[in-house]
Structure 1
Amino acid sequence: MPASKLPIYSALVANFLIAVTKFIAAAFTGSSAMVSEGIHSIVDTSNEVLLLWGIRQSKKPADEKRPFGYGKELYFWSFIVSILIFGVGGGISFYEGVTHLQHPVAIENPIWNYIVLGIAILFDGLSFITARREFNRQRGATPFWRAVKTSKDPSTFVVLFEDAADVLGLIVAFLGVFLGHQLNNPYLDGIASIIIGFILTAISVLLARESRSLLMGESVDITILNEVKKIAEQDSLIVKVSRPLSMYLAPEEVILLMDVTFNANSSGHDIAAAVQRVRHEIQNEFPSIKQIFIEPASE
């Protein structure tokens, strides 16, 4: 089931507006956690742009330079997004936290922080709900973590986990500002920034692992391959089909290779007709298998 772009657009708008207000609050209050959260929102905004660019590039038609199409552009940009979350979001959050611990600055009036954090939690919460609904729509009855592992559309779970990190980071930032002000302990603000860095790093590692797997090339589920084999072997001219090989080029684009043994008495014309027949039947049953290569071999 094709993914909707709505979660990406909603996250893009929310993160951009929230980033602006966070930096305004940080300028008035000097909060390290708020600076980290502002950087986090800027990184997330850039990530949404990169995901939209990846989706657009992945839909370009095949040409001489890329005969199998541009589908893996989405996987590449999703991997870049996961690296940015770690390198920019997590790294700068750690840096801000350590710097604030070395040179603590007390927050005298946290009202700006509370206002911005309240607005951010509202918008990021709505964005998270939108992403979660889209992901739940795609996964159906599949358990959550299994759906993440088996999903071939990183744009959906990347946004979902980004929004989850947003909400967690905002809660941590709120606690850092609130406790730091109430206890008159500016070190707590720096500690909150470091915790935000840990959250971003953990999310980054998870997303990088999943995106890397897709970029390297994942096969379709074994049950689908067995069905494909069964469809091919039902043809009267086919004696045996070796285990099909497959790879996802995009969320809804699969390439399939089959080594097929035809009846020894089959003519070239008969084999060509059988290949077309089998290809049509497989694509009828599994529309996502866009390219099928059948290698004939006689007994």
Structure 2
Amino acid sequence: MSSHSDGSTKAIFYALGANGGIAVAKFAASLYTGSGAMLAEAIHSLADCTNQVFLLIGLKEAKKPADEWHPMGYGRVVYFWAMMVALLLFFLGGAFSVMEGIKHFSHPEPLSNPVVALSVLGISVALEAFSLHGAMKEIRKIAQGKPFLRWFRETRQSELLVVAGEDIAALAGLSFAFIAVLLAVVTGNPVWDAVGSIAVGVLLMIVAVFIVREVKAMITGESAAPEVHDAIKSHIEARPEVEHVIHLITLQWGEQLMIAVQAKMRQQPSDAALVDAINAVEDSIQRTWPQAKWCFFEPDVVAGKD
């Protein structure tokens, strides 16, 4: 497995460990205090744990070798599991929290021991911050100095994108829940607790929509990241065998890359020499980008560049 995949796996285990402990604490606190916001957060953490298991399943399946029915392998299966995670985050995490908040809003109940709820939320913030720190550490290794939002839009690592999105939503949701419980204590009005549950749910659904949008683009078929696509084109045109690139297609296939090149080659003394020149260019591409498992090269004489 590549280092990128190793980094994603580390980030997932950071998140799974943090969310597992948080979910147990939140469920216990919600039962003890009767807090709707705390129950919403507990459901959120349980959904996150399930999400991380799905991502690990996706990474494992992506390693299966190519076969007769899947000649290009299973690399893109990670996109399917990432989409499942986003839908689970939306419906189980977000929609359930909103419904729970509406129920408590209609029939508000006083909190029995808000100190417990606030303590658990405070500890949860620390654990989620640890999880997000682990994800951001792995992101910084591969982002090449890009700002986070730009990396989020351009990354082709769906599993790391999902973990980062979940952690950010979790931290913001915990902040909402903490403020809601605190307001319920200070004002003596339990309606604030219900408002907090609804706010957490809406936040989760918004994050899920952003994740779905990005993963949808990956499932549809995206090129390599812009800087990788441009670097490949520059590399090809710098080769002495190539006059210029007419057209270049890169397709991200999970962690692997498919490259199709149409280029005008420099004059060669024979057909055999032309084949050798093409092979040399392909070998240089795959040495420079080992993830480029498939490289298809078509010599042509069409005028103009892409």
Same fold (TM over 0.5): yes
SS in structure 2 opposite 1:71?
Answer: coil
Between the aligned partners of 2:133 and 2:266, the Cα distance in structure 1 is 56
String of CA shifts for 1:139-191, please: whole Å, max 9, x gaps. 13212211111111122222112111111111111111121122111111110
8 Å Cα contact 1:231/1:281 also seen in 2: no
8 Å Cα contact 1:108/1:181 also seen in 2: no
Amino acid at match of 1:80: M
Q: Return the offset for 1:34.
A: 0.8
String of CA shifts for 1:96-152, please: whole Å, max 9, x gaps. 011111111111321221232122112111111111222122213212211111111
Q: Return the offset for 1:36.
A: 0.4
Query: Equivalent residue for 1:138?
Result: 142
Within the alignment, does 1:281 sit opposite 2:287 as a pair?
no
Within the alignment, does 1:198 sit opposite 2:202 as a pair?
yes
Distance 1:231 1:80, change over 3 A: farther
Query: Equivalent residue for 1:272?
Result: 275
Counterpart pick for 2:65 among 61, 65, 68: 61
SS in structure 2 opposite 1:245?
Answer: strand
Q: Return the offset for 1:231.
A: 4.2
Within the alignment, does 1:290 sit opposite 2:287 as a pair?
no
Distance 1:266 1:76, change over 3 A: farther
Q: Return the offset for 1:261.
A: 4.5
8 Å Cα contact 1:36/1:193 also seen in 2: yes
Counterpart pick for 1:216 among 216, 220, 225: 220
Counterpart pick for 2:121 among 112, 117, 131: 117
Between the aligned partners of 2:52 and 2:269, the Cα distance in structure 1 is 54
Q: Return the offset for 1:223.
A: 1.6
8 Å Cα contact 1:229/1:243 also seen in 2: no
Counterpart pick for 1:50 among 37, 49, 54: 54
Within the alignment, does 1:249 sit opposite 2:253 as a pair?
yes
Amino acid at match of 1:247: L
8 Å Cα contact 1:173/1:193 also seen in 2: yes
RMSD: 2.0
Q: Return the offset for 1:195.
A: 0.4
Query: Equivalent residue for 1:7?
Result: 11
Between the aligned partners of 1:159 and 1:52, the Cα distance in structure 2 is 11
8 Å Cα contact 1:15/1:41 also seen in 2: yes
Residue ranges of structure 2 left out of the alignment (5+ in a row): none
Between the aligned partners of 2:200 and 2:26, the Cα distance in structure 1 is 15
Distance 1:160 1:263, change over 3 A: closer
Distance 1:71 1:178, change over 3 A: same
**Mean Cα displacement is larger for which, 270-279 or 41-50?**
270-279
Query: Equivalent residue for 1:87?
Result: 91
SS in structure 1 opposite 2:65?
Answer: coil
Between the aligned partners of 1:259 and 1:6, the Cα distance in structure 2 is 39
8 Å Cα contact 2:36/2:193 also seen in 1: yes
Distance 1:286 1:227, change over 3 A: farther
Counterpart pick for 1:152 among 139, 150, 156: 156
- Match runs of 1:62-77 below 5 Å: 62-77=66-81
SS in structure 2 opposite 1:290?
Answer: strand
Query: Equivalent residue for 2:262?
Result: 259
Residue ranges of structure 1 left out of the alignment (5+ in a row): none
Q: Return the offset for 1:32.
A: 0.6
8 Å Cα contact 1:275/1:294 also seen in 2: yes
String of CA shifts for 1:36-71, please: whole Å, max 9, x gaps. 000000110011111111111112221111111111
Amino acid at match of 1:60: K
Q: Return the offset for 1:298.
A: 6.6
